[in-house]
Amino acid sequence: MIKAIDLFFILLAIGIFSWGLRRRFRLWQIGREENRSNKKSSRLKSFFFEGIIHARILEDLYPGLIHLFLFLGFLAPFTVMVITQFIFTLPSVPARLLSLALDLIGLAAILSLFLAMYRRYVTRPSRLDNKREDFLTLILLLFIIMTGFILEGLRLSVIGSDTQAWAPLGKVVASLFDITGMSIHAKSLMAAILFRIHFFLVMGTIAYIPYSKLFHLISSPMNMIFRSLEPKGALTPLDLEDEKTESFGVAKIEEFTWKQLLDLDACTRCGRCQDRCPAHLTEKPLSPKKLITDLKDHLHARAPQILEAGAKGIEPEDIPPLVGKTIDENVIWTCTTCRSCMEHCPVYIEQVDKIVDLRRYQVLMESRFPAELNSFFRNMETNSNPWGIGFASRADWAQGLDVKLINEHPQAEFLFWVGCAGSFDEEGKKVAKAMVSIMNKAGLNYAILGTEEKCCGDSARRLGNEYLFQMQASENINLFRKYNIRKIITICPHGYNTFKNEYPKLFELLSSVPPESKEKLKEIEVIHHVQLLHKLLREEKLPLKSKLESRLAYHDSCYLARYNDIISEPREVLQSLTSESLVEPKNNKQHSLCCGGGGGLMWTEETLGTRINQLRTAELLEAQAEMTATSCPFCLTMIQDGFKDKGENERKVKDIAQLVAELLEE
């Protein structure tokens, strides 16, 4: 039976905990509304596997296991105590098994605490930043678990129960007390005192949770539950036609959504994002971890001011925009949007979306962006391509080839979307021509838009120019409607991702598109050329005259592997082309290192730190392959340039389509 004094302290701890919890929740409420309540079963599944089982955390095995055992060592005894004290008492056999399990979990937790301290304060990996609360948290947990074991040892020493066999660590502690020759009365008195200490440590920790790093026990699982279940490659579109909206993008902390603010409190500062960020790895100002922690510090300073002003019915004190004060502008302009940070974050923090939102305000409202983007935006507005080459020459690459225009061949099954690189870049044209020879050989019924084709808008959007993106997209969408497009083949992962994941979200905002057309547009099948090659080779529609004798390495495009999980198809295609085994670079598949051309950075000058493409080409050189295959025109250019920078001018880099076309039977 719980004593009145114990009940008082339990209720006090719960009260302090609840007050702190409410305070934290209110901070997020200053953000804009966002619906994250759909697909409830998927959200609960995510919570179970990621929050309880630690599936994503365990991808980094050593620190993952440390965290798992700390989590179990803290939560399991508390859960068992609540169940057995307040709900029901277990029969003897299950109780003994549970005692054994708790002993082993506790032992693992103690070892994990010491390993965590060793890792944090001795080996000190660069991604960890040590704060006073980190040490306090570890010591607090250690004291709780250690006092729990000592209490168990005292109990077993006093009662001398046969159940000692089911508590091996407790038995060891009990034997130590037995050696001392202490009387039962002395042991009982010590146990009573120690129980008070243990009790107050536990109650104090519960009360302390909302005010400390331990709050991630609540905020991180919440973030897993409310994580985005939209396609990974889809940004949230801005409603540019909304007359009530006076500002676009994010300038102030309160202009983020409540979920984006929850992200900030969910961060555990583990640094996995930082370790995998190509900008950080090449000495640029961007650290995804620091971005989140800086925004968090600003939230905790700014939100109380906003809430206090709201309670008084007055406007909060105005403060300068985030970029330039809280966040250095070079931070947001060195992100390649490769999504590696989000792929490796164990609690699903969405860094890329925040960076794009910050860029949007800078571009749309302040016209502040790197100087070289002036020509990029101008070229896009006037000629719908980044190079500014006259749109009338968009189909010149196809002269002399058996390529039909869709306005002359509207019954074509496939629209071959050539894209800006395939139309204007010399290396991109080679890929487009290779695809023509392949599709002709396979007998596909396809056509191109020719001079009607516009840029898909990917680079403009990720650079923050949502207006320019939607202008390009709406024209392309009208062309899809005009020619009743059902299937699109792309040679660019950026175009593939844009058509597949981003245009469908835009359909709902375009008032010029009737509802029946929106449903048809959503049914368009988007096919990346790697997927098409994979299908045609499996169906034996592309007879090959020979195989390569070269060792091939494949560079995964971020927008194929990470954004769209297209990983096995290019490897199976390449393996069918060579008699040698494929060579994997150090970072590959969904963990591939970015080439440096994404996020619109293909069109900016990389003046800070070292060049990202040089870091990636160094990994490809280490793989000792004779040829590198790509599946993205941006990657093709960046890796070729990287090899040239390293004096490897003879190193061959080709798109997968080029390799297939060269091996086709005549």
How far does CA 206 lie from the centroid of its chain?
31
Which is nearest to 615 in space by CA: 345, 355, 277, 125? 277
CB count within 10 Å of CB 430 equals 19
Instruction: Please report the sign of the dihedral spanned by the C-alpha atoms of residue 94, residue 95, residue 100, residue 105.
Output: positive
Q: Is 527 helix (H, G, I), strand (E, B) or coil?
A: strand
**C-alpha gyration radius of the chain:** 30
Residue 87 confidence (pLDDT)? 46
| Residue tagged 């040490």 (tokens) | 135
Using DSSP bridges, classify how beta strands 652-655 and 627-630 pair: parallel, antiparallel or unpaired.
parallel
**What string of H, E and C letters represents the secondary structure of 79-148?**
HHHHHHHHCCCCCHHHHHHHHHHHHHHHHHHHHHHHHHHHHHHHHCCCCCCCCHHHHHHHHHHHHHHHHH
Domain 35-225 top-level CATH class: mainly alpha
Q: Which pLDDT tens digit goes with each residue over 24-41?
A: 999 999 999 999 989 999
**Could you confirm whether domain 544-663 is CATH 3.40.50?**
yes
Please report, as a single letter, which amino acid is at residue 41: S
DSSP state string for 540-596: T-S-BS--B-SPEEEPPPHHHHHHH---HHHHHHHHHHBSSPPB--SS-GGGPPP-S
Burial class (CB in 10 A: 0-12, 13-18, 19+), 224: buried
Q: In whole angstroms, what is the distance from residue 360 CA to residue 354 CA?
A: 10
pLDDT of residue 169: 83
Question: What whole-number distance in Å separates Cα of residue 180 and Cα of residue 177?
Answer: 5
pLDDT at 507: 87
Instruction: Map out the domains of the chain as residue ranges.
Output: 35-225, 253-364, 373-533, 544-663
The span from the CA of 402 to the CA of 431, in Å, is 15
β-pairing, 627-630 vs 525-528, is unpaired
Q: Is 254 exposed, middle or buried (0-12, 13-18, 19+ CB in 10 A)?
A: middle
Task: Give the DSSP H or E segment for 416.
Answer: strand 414-417
Structure tokens at 132: 């006073």
Looking at residue 45, what DSSP letter applies? Answer: H
Structure tokens at 184: 């039962």
Query: What does DSSP assign to residue 317?
Result: P
Q: Cα dihedral angle (100, 101, 104, 108), rounded to 10 degrees?
A: -170
pLDDT at 427: 95
Which residues lie closer than 8 Å to 273 by C-beta, 6 or more apart? 288, 289, 340, 341, 342, 344, 345, 349, 351
User: Which residues of the chain fall short of a pLDDT of 70?
Assistant: 1-2, 78-95, 160-165
CATH code, 253-364: 1.10.1060
Say how far apart CA 553 and CA 628 lie, in whole Å: 5
Residue 74 parent element (H or E) = helix 61-86
State which H helix or E strand residue 609 sits in: none
pLDDT at 226: 95
Nearest to 291 by CA among 259, 323, 247: 323
Kindly state the tokens that stand for 212: 């400390």
Q: How many CB atoms lie within 10 A of CB 635?
A: 30
**Chain segment 607-616, per-residue pLDDT in tens:** 999 999 999 9
- End-to-end Cα, the chain, rounded Å: 89
Taking a C-beta distance cutoff of 8 angstroms, is the pair 165, 97 a contact? no
pTM equals 0.93
DSSP 236-286: PPP-TT-TT----S-SSGGGSBHHHHHHHHH-----HHHHT-HHHHTT-S-
Cα–Cα separations (whole angstroms), residue 593 to 340, 351, 382, 433, 458: 8, 17, 34, 28, 20
pLDDT of residue 221: 94
The H or E element containing residue 457 is none
